Structure 1
Amino acid sequence: MRSIAVDMDGVLADVYHQFIDMHLQETGKKLQLKALKGLSERAAFPFLEKHVNSKGFFINAPMVPDSRRVLELLHNQYRVFIVSAATEFPLSLSEKQAWLNRHFPFISWRQMVFCGSKEIIHTDIMIDDHFKNLDHFRGEGYLFTQPHNELSPAGKHKRVDSWRALEKLLL
């Protein structure tokens, strides 16, 4: 059975909307997704460090549309692992696990990989929104479109704009 590594933030968890909501609470100003195209997450969100290190940030993130439905279908045909660079934000570890347990109950703790660098991941397929995780990957890489990567060419990776697109490609 083929294996898939799926990133969490920006692929399953809609952290962009979480950042936008928290920026609005912080400043009273609503950021528009269109205006964030091509900006790194750190440039787009001036309070990023504060927010990702705040209790509740990760556990309250909304889901990316169609992610649960399609991931469950993939789970029936592939060995699926959720791979998140969670050690970058140590407070996120328990929140990410609780978030996955709530939204993806078919994913067991054995399928959750919380790490620092994803260079050690050797699955057949990786779905991620960051080049830094895909560029060293030896398998088939899928770049999940988010504003920070939207203006960059996908390079050797296949760009996917949604979970529905992944469904068509992988199922």
Structure 2
Amino acid sequence: MKRSVAIDMDGVLADVESHFFEWYKRDYGVSLTLQDIIGKTEDDAFPEKMVIRKFATTPGFFTTVPVMPGAIEAVKKLMEDFEVYVVSAAMEFPQSLSEKRIWLTEHFPFISWRNIIFCGDKSIISTDFMIDDHIKNLDYFKGKTILFNAFHNVSYHHHTRANNWDEVLALMQESLL
């Protein structure tokens, strides 16, 4: 039987950071870079407080997020050796449910609907591995964790970190040995 891996959507499969920058420039006329927000919380990342929440609750945000570089190829590769589940705490933004499903169908059509889990609390997930950009989801996970690098998690060092999908694949390959 294959071992299992839970993969987060936002910040791992979906490049929400670049999308936030794009929408921020569109709505506020200001170009920010990763260096401008590195190490800040999501609530404090942009000069306008709570703008990330504003964008995340705007219709069309989740259907137009770009795919994280290398994610499609990496997930296909992982599926050769692991049972892959996409796990999103989508209940935080309930309007995102249908948009996230549309996005997954467009970009990851090879993932069965049976392997997509929209939940509120990821502590219920019981896979062998979890790849996520939020430590709140990894800290209580009972399996092996990979922290996908993001602006808001650079100060945390108590999970194995991957900066990109190539590093995730290398870590997962090591686990097979």
Question: SS state of the match for residue 138, structure 1?
Answer: coil
Question: Superposed, which structure 2 residues align to 1:5-44 within 5 Å?
Answer: 5-44=6-45
Question: Superposed, which structure 2 residues align to 1:79-98 within 5 Å?
Answer: 79-98=83-102
Gap regions ≥5 residues in structure 1: none
Superposed structure 1 runs of 4+ greater than 6 Å apart = none
Say how many residue pairs are matched.
169
**Alignment TM-score, normalising by the size of structure 2:** 0.93
Corresponding letter in the other structure for 2:144:
E
Q: What is aligned with 1:64?
A: 68
Gap regions ≥5 residues in structure 2: none
**Alignment TM-score, normalising by the size of structure 1:** 0.96
Q: Mean Cα displacement is larger for which, 159-168 or 37-46?
A: 37-46
Q: What is aligned with 2:157?
A: 154
Distance 1:131 1:169 in 2: 18
Question: SS state of the match for residue 153, structure 2?
Answer: coil
Distance 1:49 1:136 in 2: 24
Alpha-carbon shift at residue 139 of structure 1 (Å): 0.4
Distance 1:59 1:67 in 2: 16
- Alpha-carbon deviations, 1:132-169, whole Å to 9, x = none? 0000001000000001111x1321x2100000011112
Distance 1:83 1:72 in 2: 16
- Identity among equivalent positions (%) equals 46
Distance 1:11 1:99 in 2: 14
Question: SS state of the match for residue 117, structure 2?
Answer: strand
Indicate yes or no: 2:82 matched with 1:78: yes
Corresponding letter in the other structure for 1:169:
L
